[in-house]
Structure 1
Amino acid sequence: MTRNRPVPSLPPADLAFVRGLVLHEDNSLIAFNKPSGLAVQAGSGIARSLDDLMAAFAKSNGKRPRLVHRLDQGTSGVIVAAKTQPVAAKLSEAFAGRDVQKTYLALVKGRLPDADEGVIDAPLAKVEESGKARMIVAKPDRKGAQAARTGWRVRARNGAFALMELAPETGRMHQIRVHLMSLGCPILGDALYGEGQATAPRLMLHAARLDLPHPEGKRLVLESPLPEDFRQLATSVGLQAGL
């Protein structure tokens, strides 16, 4: 839980908005269906973040849920917050220890692989360009390089377009986006690693499913429905068979 922070009074519109994002809630955690465009954390130029909106679920003592992993601002889909510090520690350990199975869907365009599935095993390193951080594929011995693996499967293809299912085994910054660029087929709408708005109005990457160990035992599977704009674009480029 986030401690010793004053809890702001959220406007009714914000309260309704964040409560409308809830996919699942129990005594340990809350899962949200994050829309594309909503930042996870506050920062320069960000007017509203999901972390700020956690105030809607604050207890009377001011403690509020803590997000235990991240999604890029442009990525839509399922994201989880812990209700207590012990739960946050357990879930953070599960994500760090690769005990969480993550499934993403992406619309891509480019030089598609001949195979229908495979694994991208390519280390990544962070670089600064024009004051912005981005990731690059790096040699394993490069300073700062981190191992990164992403399983992939083509669910549908049509010419240069494809609907791909991704299963990242590691959780590096921008991992799926960089790995798909390195494969030759960047995500539609990716302004950093692809052609940006020339291909889509926003990043077409969706966190569709999380399979994680629940702190109270057993496993919990969380699923987020495809956003309508994602579904419509997939249909418009002939990929509806993979939806």
Structure 2
Amino acid sequence: MRNRPLPPISNEDRAFAESLVLYEDSDIIVFDKPSGLAVQGGGGVTKSLDDLLVAFAKSNGKKPRLVHRLDRGTSGVLIVARTRPAAAFLSEEFSARRAMKTYLALVQGTLPEAGEGVFDQPLVKVEEGGRPRMLAARPGRKGSQQAVTGWRILSRSGGYALMEMKPETGRMHQIRAHLMSARCPILGDHLYGTGRTSADRLMLHAQSLEIGVPGGGRRQFTAPVPSEFLALAGELDLDVSVQP
């Protein structure tokens, strides 16, 4: 079967896609996805990272494959596979929970008294106004899924905090829903918090990903903290230099 022709990509979009690359080899490409760029199309999305992957297509017309997702508002590390075998390998890393993800979040609310802990709270997907979201659920509720997120407070200032989040499971909106349930939602979260009244973007950053790679061994990939994240943290007197 011949490959379906790929859509054209402008020189501007090609340059933009290439500017996001943190690392690449014959098996993988690692991107620093900016907040606001959707990973996939649909729902009124006019341009997604998946669309931009055309810039890295092989001469046979095959483009890289997505193997995991970040929410549109989340910035940071995202890995894609250049080949089908690499995609299968990386998908198994995620499904077997061997991929270790670390996020940074700016939050506001009733902060935990402890400095670190684990949110072990099942989540269930619901539809509200035609938009899916995740809510904390009682154990055993029909449709609920196990969701576990390790957390650590890196810096506090009044009712604000910089938190390190380490999800052990990969549920939709897991970190966002857990923090809302803990009564300290992420700044700028339009679905689980106060949206643009608290920040111009979702203040959640996928800082690092440690994962086995098709070429052998494990690698850690890190995305720098975005300038707007740093600026807001500074305004809130939160010390972003205290990082993992």
- Structure 1-normalised TM-score? 0.97
Q: Aligned-pair RMSD on alpha carbons?
A: 1.0
* Residue 127 (structure 1) aligns with: 126
| Unmatched segments (≥5 aa) in structure 1 | none
The residue that corresponds to 2:157 in the other structure is 158
Gaps of 5+ in 2: none
- The residue number in structure 2 matching 1:85 is 84
How do 1:86-235 residues align onto structure 2 when only pairs under 5 Å count? 86-235=85-234
Q: Distance in 2 between matches of 1:95 and 1:171?
A: 8
In the alignment, structure 1 residue 39 sits paired with structure 2 residue 38: yes
Q: Deviations over 1:49-107 (max 9, x none)?
A: 00011000001111010011000000000001101101100100110110000000000
- Mapped to 1, the partners of 2:209 and 2:190 lie a distance apart of 26
Alpha-carbon contact 1:121-1:149 (below 8 Å) kept: yes
1:156-215 deviation line (CA, Å, top 9, x unaligned)? 000000000000000000000000111110000001000111110110000000000011
Asked if 1:67 corresponds to 2:66, the answer is: yes
Amino acid at match of 1:96: S
The structure 1 segments of at least 4 consecutive aligned residues displaced by more than 6 Å after TM superposition are: none
**Structure 2 counterpart of 1:153, which letter?**
R
Aligned residue for 2:180, secondary structure, equals helix
Mapped contact 1:117–1:152 kept (Cα < 8 A):
yes
Q: 1:138 to 1:5 in 2, by over 3 A?
A: farther
* Correspondence 1:12 to 2:2: no
The separation in 1 between residues aligned to 2:234 and 2:39, in whole angstroms, is: 29
CA pair 4-139 structure 1, distance change in 2 beyond 3 A = farther
- Whole-Å separation in 2 of the counterparts to 1:237 and 1:4: 51
The one-letter code of the counterpart of 2:242 is G
* Letter of the structure 1 residue corresponding to residue 128 of structure 2: E
Supply the distance in 1 between the matched residues of 2:183 and 2:129 (Cα, whole angstroms).
Answer: 24
Give the 3-state SS of the residue equivalent to 1:242 in structure 2. coil
**3-state SS of paired residue (2:38):** coil
Return the alpha-carbon distance in structure 2 between the equivalents of residues 189 and 147 of structure 1. Answer: 26
In 1, Cα distance between the equivalents of 2:188 and 2:218?
Answer: 34
**What is the count of residue pairs matched by the alignment?**
241
